[in-house]
Structure 1
């Protein structure tokens, strides 16, 4: 008799991940009963206290051997080790839609992989989500299905965004429901600077060897490729570019079939700005901030220079002030710089002269002033302004 999912007590495993290059180890322990791991979906039945641990393994390197036996992966590959007690039954998760598969028991199997090779074992029961083994032996283990195309399978949709870009850049992966593959993509995307956006996965099966379109509800969205064929063992993704995403973004995955324009989507997803912080308009905002900062700095510099110049000129005697203006008319202190007309210098006041110099010499006003002060033998003022600048 098939047990309902509510009959299984769900347990959260303890996760141990010490090496970035190693897959995490998940540890579980239980008393007697029926249990399910929340991470892997692995189910087990035991009559007493039991503990075990497992790691997800990649199917890479094993595919060809499975195909040579006329099988293909039907579920995640796990390395299971019982550390105490005994598991009387184990129910391995699978991602296959069994609705249209005849002779289910003959189609499914379980593979054991160890140093001695591969052992394929028939299963005692198949449910919509698991295959059952009684009195199981453990090693690297997974559900298999006989080569059968096309298949409908349960899938994950993984979404990643690139922070600190002026546009929103997404990578969207439709993959089989394989935690090891999910961990591998997470690692690769993270190493490229992308961050994960966690959203619900499809609640419908995806058919292998069928083409799909990903669509967005924004006219500025660019999505490549336009069409993606979902293959069992291929790893493909959609790349999405959106300039200035100013409203809620809806993504929809549809079958590519011109004869079914009103077909239901396989998956829909709503993204808000909070889902991709520090992305979209960031570079533009950063540029605006930099411009404002530069303008503020320029204002502060002009204000500071005005105070310095005024302080120096106010310390001059009447005769020194007139000599100062004379040197500004024709002197090597202003070589290569615009000249202030004599008519504007003759009767100008100290404050007006400061403004004239800032307008004419801009950021070089202080340097010009220091050169002229040396010519009228006011080196004490030159040192004074140099000290205030340090």
Structure 2
């Protein structure tokens, strides 16, 4: 009877192991991991591993109960399935790097957030594996997954310092109102000599506030060095620590007398230690340390009920280490009147006005500023373009011009703009552009182009005024995203199109489109609605997701290939 029970247990465990390995294989393919020893999927291999695991477990525990092993395999399978689901939700159909057409692009932050869970699972699984060669099949697969995620768990000084052949991208949201990931500065040559002395593990905090204006976060950490994916906050701890923190508006202190002599150069943050003790805290800044910046001119503003004070700090390339670990509201300031270069970013939004009207922001590389702008521009379409390739002098006046002005009527308002910690923008009006055009940014007193991007027909929507005075939006250009999606959906039969619409109205969260917007609509109206709701890349990504749900894999492959050709 004991042998029969053992045979039954080994068969069940072999079945669980087979599904477990199948999911491992799927995850490896998604992450572009090619296992050194392949996948042990044969029934014989599974049976041999299962029998060895049971034998070793019974010897160690002196028990015939193998439920512990079953639970480890089941929980591991669930972990792998959840990771696959998260990665597929964030798959981007655009291939930024020069990779094979069939290689997927995954979200690095999502993958990194799972690494600690895989590490714990690896330790659990290793404890029940036999000391034999069979263990290498599965444990090596897990180790390769952990190593792949850990390649980027250490935060690089800039994303362009990382390997470009790895199938990862930064998390860039497709809607103006939902870009909350930390923006890493470009590979600034001016400050490349400054390197981080420590390695930092990214973490995703929990949201504990309904106030989107000043979102409160919470995280529980063990000993280590960490960086928040949302805010850029870095902390060091030598034991278990629980934190609550938020990024605050500088408006709350703008009336303080000290602000007459100083300007923000980084985040204003409120950090509370709920339990444990922090070894060090680092606030993000957007200063470029290349050149002649005087660190003594950079201070930490400490805000307390009794008033405000200034403290010293130690600057690293993108952060400032606080020297006083008394926590409350603290932020980074730089003395005005000094020549200071800063890391910047540009944001371009198309408004819903009849003629092409763009809002072009030139701002410091500050996540709080970007979130505020995204909220303000939430009804407008974000046009993604590269940021300036080098740091720019703060408080300098810049002018903005569209090239090929003779070919169409255009107007820039205001004529010049000062680079400060603010949400000011250029309004660019272009009346019925018939060709691609460029936007150039120059310092007012220098004939030097510091930013130059092309605005192509496929980048923006053509706003059409209807007879009843309402407007509708359609993307311009031959072979545009709208044309590609239109051609794809026209291949669906009537019932299949109804099913496609049903999925769109039953997706989770912000992906869901209200049924009222899609009922009794023509295909071109559905495409227009999708592009307005998701923007270009998002519309393609969601279409691919729904087509795969519908088992329309061939159509999904055609769409992905056409979109890749369109991007090239």
CA deviations on 1:76-99 (whole Å, 9 max, x unpaired) are 111222233222111111122233
1:258-337 matches, within 5 Å, as: 260=447, 263=448, 265-276=449-460, 279-283=461-465
Quote the residue 2:239 is aligned against: 48
Q: In 2, are the aligned partners of 1:209 and 1:229 still within 8 Å (CA)?
A: no
Task: Determine the C-alpha separation between the residues in 2 that align with 1:242 and 1:286.
Answer: 24
Partner of 2:202: 10
Aligned-pair distance for 1:270?
4.1
- Look up the match of 2:381: 195
Counterpart in the other structure of 2:319: 130
**Superposed CA offset, 1:319-340 (max 9, x none):** xxxxxxxxxxxxxxxxxxxxxx
> Hey, what does 1:216 align to over in structure 2?
402
Structure showing greater radius of gyration is: 1
* Further displaced range: 47-56 or 6-15: 6-15
**How far, CA to CA, are the matches of 1:31 and 1:15 in structure 2?**
19
Picking from 228, 234, 240, the partner of 2:428 is: 240
Unaligned runs of 5+ in 1: 291-390
1:113 corresponds to 2:295: no
CA 135–59 in structure 1, closer or farther in 2 if over 3 Å, else same: closer
Alignment match, 1:204: 390
Name whichever structure is richer in strand by fraction.
1
Question: For residue 29 of structure 1, what is the aligned residue in structure 2?
Answer: 220
TM-score, reference length from structure 1: 0.61
RMSD: 3.4
- Aligned-partner Cα distance in 2 for 1:26–1:270: 38
Distance 1:280 1:175, change over 3 A: same
Match of 2:269 among 67, 70, 78: 78
Distance 1:51 1:248 in 2: 52
> Shift of residue 3 of structure 1?
5.2
Corresponding residue of 2:286 = 95
| Separation (CA, whole Å) in 2 of partners of 1:266 and 1:18 | 39
Structure 1 position 144 matched with structure 2 position 322: no
Q: How many residues align?
A: 278
Secondary structure class of the residue paired with 1:75? strand
Q: In 2, distance between residues paired with 1:30 and 1:221?
A: 57
Distance in 1, matches of 2:457 and 2:198, equals 36
Segment drifting more, 110-119 vs 196-205: 196-205
Query: CA separation of 1:18/1:196 partners in 2, compared to 1, >3 Å: closer, same or farther?
Result: farther
Distance in 1 between the 2:218 and 2:243 partners? 6
Report SS of the residue matched to 1:280. strand
> How far apart, in 2, do the equivalents of 1:14 and 1:198 lie?
28
Counterparts of 1:152-167 in structure 2, within 5 Å, are 152-163=341-352, 165-167=353-355
Instruction: Give the drift of 1:70.
Output: 3.8
Shift in Å, 1:156: 2.6
Greater per-residue helix proportion: 2
**Contact 1:214–1:223, Cα closer than 8 Å, also in 2:** no
How far residue 227 of structure 1 moved from its aligned partner, in angstroms, is 3.5
Counterpart for residue 333 of structure 1: none
* SS of equivalent to 1:88: strand
Q: 1:103 to 1:207 in 2, by over 3 A?
A: closer
Q: Deviations over 1:90-126 (max 9, x none)?
A: 111112223333542x222212213222132212x21
